[in-house]
Amino acid sequence: MEQALWTRARLGRCGPPLDLLTARFQQHVYAPHAHAEYTIGVCVGGSEVIDYRGGHIRTGPGSIIVLDPGEMHTGGPDTATDGYAYRALYADPALLADGTLGGLPHFREPVIDDPELVTALRLAHTELSACPDPLETESRLPWLLTALARRHSTARSAPDEVPGADHIAFVVRDRLADELLNPPSLADLATDLDLSRYQLLRAFRTTMGIPPYAWLAQHRVTRARGLLETGLRPAEVAPLVGFADQAHLTRWFRRVLGVTPAAYRNSVQDTR
């Protein structure tokens, strides 16, 4: 089966696009080409052979592949029977430079073994492909891309300490709460605070213990509880608290409270 599914996410409200690709090929061979962005892939099945930098690299399940911008490459099945499957994203170079020093990161080794990062990238890719929420995209992917550059590229890590982290986190928290139906982008908030996006994420995660999108989702769940208790149905509540749809509300409601919104509504109605 030859299958490629593209999803266009956005980095924050009105932010730049970031494309996600979910692919499974049995025989497809790419023509030589290059991308203006970093190509970052996670192999999830089979094996792909890639012509790159005058040689051949082979991927296997659980490996990360990073191709630098502008580098010509091809790709195709390593064997005639197994095919290959992968998840990929195409990241603007500035995303990997945030939180690092020394210019654009360069990856000497294109195949990377990092099980922790593989798991995080694959999960983020899967969940954002299903529901590409702008704030969630901006909270998760730049953080993971900075981690990738810091661990495996030639770039040096920028200092982690952010002066006034508590104040920064509370300002961001209050803005998100005030604008929960259409939250501002982290890039805009960072500009207002004279920070990089990485510094803002670092300050928020250090102080609050979770990234901004997760805090806002929990705040929305709290608001949703109150509306469900008035008798509104989950489908009515979801847009009133900023969730994209009932499925998104249900996913977060169950994560936070352990039950679905419908079950919660029914239980509180039964006690009246």
Chosen domain end from 152, 168, 190: 152
- What dihedral angle (degrees, nearest 10) is formed by the CA atoms of 179, 209, 132, 109? 140
Could you give the C-alpha distances from 48 to 40, 52, 85, 114, 211, in angstroms and in order? 14, 12, 8, 18, 34
Task: Let me know whether 179 and 76 are in one domain.
Answer: no
The CATH number of the domain where 170 resides is what? 1.10.10
Residue 268: predicted pLDDT: 86
Q: What is the mean pLDDT of residues 50-61?
A: 95
Task: Let me know whether 118 and 141 are in one domain.
Answer: yes
The CATH number of the domain where 227 resides is what? 1.10.10.60
The CATH number of the domain where 133 resides is what? 2.60.120.280
Residues 89, 79: Cα–Cα separation, whole Å: 24
In terms of residues, how long is the chain? 272
Task: Let me know whether 230 and 258 are in one domain.
Answer: yes
**How many domains in the chain?**
3
Task: Let me know whether 73 and 138 are in one domain.
Answer: yes
Q: What is the mean pLDDT of residues 55-79?
A: 95
Domain extent at residue 187: 159-209
Residue 168: band (very low, low, confident or very high) from pLDDT cuts 50, 70, 90: very high
Residue 126: band (very low, low, confident or very high) from pLDDT cuts 50, 70, 90: very high
pLDDT greater than 70 at residue 259: yes
Task: Let me know whether 36 and 135 are in one domain.
Answer: yes
Task: Let me know whether 18 and 137 are in one domain.
Answer: yes
Residue-wise pLDDT tens digits, 80-105: 888 999 999 999 999 999 999 999 99
Residues 201, 229: Cα–Cα separation, whole Å: 34
Task: Let me know whether 25 and 99 are in one domain.
Answer: yes
Task: Let me know whether 92 and 182 are in one domain.
Answer: no
Residue 271: band (very low, low, confident or very high) from pLDDT cuts 50, 70, 90: low
Task: Let me know whether 205 and 218 are in one domain.
Answer: no
Residue 36: predicted pLDDT: 96
Task: Let me know whether 195 and 141 are in one domain.
Answer: no
